[in-house]
Amino acid sequence: MKMSPKFAAVLFDCDGVLVDSEKITNEVLRQMLGELGWHLSSEECVSRFVGRMLRDEADVIEAHTGHRIDEDWLLEFRRRRNIQIADSLEAIPGVVDAVRTLDEVYPGRLACASSADRPKITMQLQKIGLYDVFEGKIFSGVELDRGKPAPDVYLAAAAALGVDPTESAVIEDSPPGVEAGRAAGAHVFGFCPASPVHQSAEMLLGLGADETFTDMAELPGLLTTSDRLEAHESSTAPSH
């Protein structure tokens, strides 16, 4: 049974979709905000910051701490974050097999479009063994004028692959990411496993996700169709 693509391309978010990094990044951020005097619970930190670029949240952080985060602060955040990621990052369960399966169905048409900085994306993909799939097709919102929830990173990914974003699938887990995929005109699949750093299906659907799923093992089936033509032709061929 042959699988055929349902979309022109598949555009993956990274954190929370490919890698289980949100809890790591969130804890480092929570600690550093606490050092500035803003003490957040893990749940509050997730709600406020997951899926967003920190540079875009400078006004919010300043309003709560009186401190304007600058490039040095961001570099220190990335340094601490990267140490923790290098030590304990894991792939989202089932995602490696799912991506490998989809890479055969969508050769050269899988991309990673993240709000994170490129070194972090690259390091994470290398750590979980998927860098070869996405090499040359990695897009960072940090390198664009606008991050998620603006659609820019998904539009850039689609343009680089030479596909229409409205004919592409976006795989997202955060509210800003779902809004970004929706704004790009893509068909958005919201990933919502039971997890303290993931959102509910109701939340993602309310923000414009077209469908939701909870297990990466489901993803190949959602993004492909099964071609039974050969079996049908064999069963209907005239005998001699």
Provide the CATH number for the domain around residue 148. 3.40.50.1000
Is residue 143 in a domain?
yes
Identify residue 70 by its one-letter amino acid code: D
Residue 39 structural domain: 22-88
Give the per-residue pLDDT at 16. Answer: 94
Domain count within the chain = 2
DSSP letter at 36 equals T
Region label for 15, one of left (φ > 0), alpha (ψ between -120 and 50) or beta (otherwise): beta
DSSP letter at 165 equals G
pTM: 0.84
Same domain for 84 and 194?
Answer: no
Boundary (domain end) residue, out of 88, 105, 121: 88
Q: If you count them, how many residues does the chain have? A: 240
Residue 221 · residue 204 · CB < 8 Å: no
- Per DSSP, the three-state class of 128 is helix
Q: Is residue 124 exposed (0-12), middle (13-18) or buried (19+ Cβ within 10 Å)?
A: buried
Identify residue 67 by its one-letter amino acid code: H
Give the per-residue pLDDT at 53. Answer: 81
Same domain for 176 and 215?
Answer: yes
Q: What is the pLDDT of residues 185-239, one digit of tens each?
A: 999 999 999 988 899 999 999 999 999 999 999 999 999 998 754 444 444 444 4
Same domain for 49 and 103?
Answer: no
Q: What is the pLDDT of residues 43-78, one digit of tens each?
A: 899 888 887 788 889 999 999 999 999 999 999 999
